Structure 1
């Protein structure tokens, strides 16, 4: 999965084959218009206020796609929160050189703007230097995962092999004891009688390093994670015996990662219980979680829907805009995504201030 997505020349993301939007392989919230980024900017502006309007306010977007969300956030902040922009630095952490080039092209107009826009690697950011917010949207689902299987009462791992110049799978001992430790951490016993023989699922160990890195760089502020997934008891439901690994190719979903190598997206749902527990392990506090629909409504999406009745747009424009807004809150689609907020270094007064996006009851 790591090679298929991130090989420098042939990987889906690193090689420049990623397609987002109507002409690509999948939609993201940002590809539906500027609303997602603008509403997220409202939350970021409140975070600046909660942190006491620091003289340097750092925003770190991890995995910025084609730069659409970043552009929408920056434009909204410069229009409505110029004071914030004058002290803000907007850092994009991106693994794919091809995507960095797309992002720079899309964000060209902002490179000389009031806000300080930069691309960095984690190694270029000093420890305990970030006062602000690190955030991601549909990033963790593309982290490479291990696949494990319950086989004759034991937990085994599924490996990729090659036979007759074709990919095949083989089952063997676990590659690391961290796989067993993972299930202990989230209190799931796959070896119990509730789980059928050959129950197969995924484990995302890459988030451990991710949390360690963020906790090391973040001095004071928030980590905001938006992605699709479940709490552990739903993710590892005994009836979900084939796991959640899936592929996207030209807006068609299937479950065969051994075709269209480097030409399709490969993802797995996110275990949000693991994100909470792993974050705690590295010193992050769980502030709260909700669904994207509720998060965006709390930040003002409902008002935007209400404004459509004002007659400023023609019927076709109104219908198109209403459809885009409804897709952001569709509980069976983007609206059903989870939003997890964690923090580090907040004092008691700051912890008592509720984030706007979490203000609606879940």
Structure 2
């Protein structure tokens, strides 16, 4: 709470310096990534039962093992590295490395792109404990390399990249930003900034009669994917997150947008409450992701829901390999697997997009 108040005061000062208003994307970047105070830069626990949310690697090691199956053909073709963006607790890296070792496709380097010092420390501890001598192959990077071959993995990264909030009311398009009113952070709508206008290119926002419509656009995510695509000389970007293609993202019935906040496994409605102490996320526009990659010469190899991807890459076989059918261990692992593939859990909501350059057809496409 004390750290959040320090960050709130810092944000309020910056809003004043900017003339009394900033786009929501600026606020979201400060709330999540401000050094030492932002949600992903501070020291509070974020992942797992003691944190604010649980991701697939925390649910079961079968997730990482299946990702390893999916990327192994690309590593065989390119002889490149694995680059993981936002590695969370480090469990995914450990699970992927162990399975790649079993498949005989270990990369020379497993690089992790991580902005949080506290998460880096946790990743180092986890990988050392879970991956043994394989941990020697892991390195940490501060920025995307200028060029690389191999595979980029990003599980639940796109959803926490800053978004602009835009909307329509009475036939006009506006951008929703943050101001300071009576000493508190507050919302204020203004005409769209140049960044928002650029992000709206190719998007037709619904105009509802007598009702406001608010949603998110993703210029930061587009720029990030474009940077990765330019750096990828041969190989694949494998991005996993919750989201929709554009035709089902910007629709009238999603009139409140998809912005969500999480604090201690509970949904928080107000993104301006406790900046730095809670996660802020938005569903992904996967059409924008594909456009950004294709503009840099990558090909969209596959786009499917998480259930289809995991089943196509043999997650059921991984289950049978690791536990005797009918045993208590098998039943527990099967129950965890259900969370990943069932439509009412993560199976349909989460999508997987594979973007590649210079590789042959993958067996699971």
Give the TM-score range, shorter chain. 0.7 to 0.9
The equivalent residue for 2:170 is 152
Q: Measure how far apart 1:3 and its partner are.
A: 1.1
Query: Which residue of structure 2 lines up, in the alignment, with residue 184 of structure 1?
Result: 201
Is it true that 1:236 corresponds to 2:250 in the alignment? yes
1:116 and 2:124 correspond: no
CA deviations on 1:81-111 (whole Å, 9 max, x unpaired) are: 1xx32x5211000111111111111112558
CA distance in 2: counterparts of 1:309 and 1:79, whole angstroms? 17
- For residues 308 and 342 of structure 1, the distance between their equivalents in structure 2, rounded to whole angstroms, comes to 30
Aligned residues: 336
Counterpart of 1:48?
A: 75
The normalised TM-score by structure 2 is: 0.86
Q: CA deviation at 1:231?
A: 0.8
Q: Distance in 1 between matches of 2:89 and 2:209?
A: 41
Using the alignment, how far apart are the partners of 2:69 and 2:189 within structure 1? 48
Aligned match for 1:106, one of 97, 122, 126: 126
Compare 217-226 and 113-122 and name the one that shifted more. Answer: 113-122
1:345 deviation in Å?
3.2
1:251 deviation in Å? Answer: 1.1
Which residue, out of 92, 99, 104, partners 1:76? 99
Extract unaligned runs of 5+ from structure 1: none
The answer to whether the aligner puts 1:328 opposite 2:348 as a matched pair is no
The alignment yields a C-alpha RMSD, in angstroms, of 2.1
| Offset, 1:38 | 0.6
Report the equivalent of 2:313.
299
- Kindly provide the CA deviation profile for residues 144-182 of structure 1, in whole angstroms up to 9, marking residues without a partner as x: 111012133221111111112211111112121x43343
Q: Could you tell me which of 197, 220, 224 is aligned with 2:234? A: 220
The range that moved more, 220-229 or 275-284, is 275-284
C-alpha distance 38-95 of structure 1, shift in aligned 2 (>3 A): same
**Paired residues for 1:129-144 under 5 Å:** 130-144=148-162
2:97 and 2:134 in contact (8 A); partners too: no
Give the alignment of 1:262-277 within 5 angstroms. Answer: 262-277=276-291
- Counterpart of 1:33 in structure 2 is 60
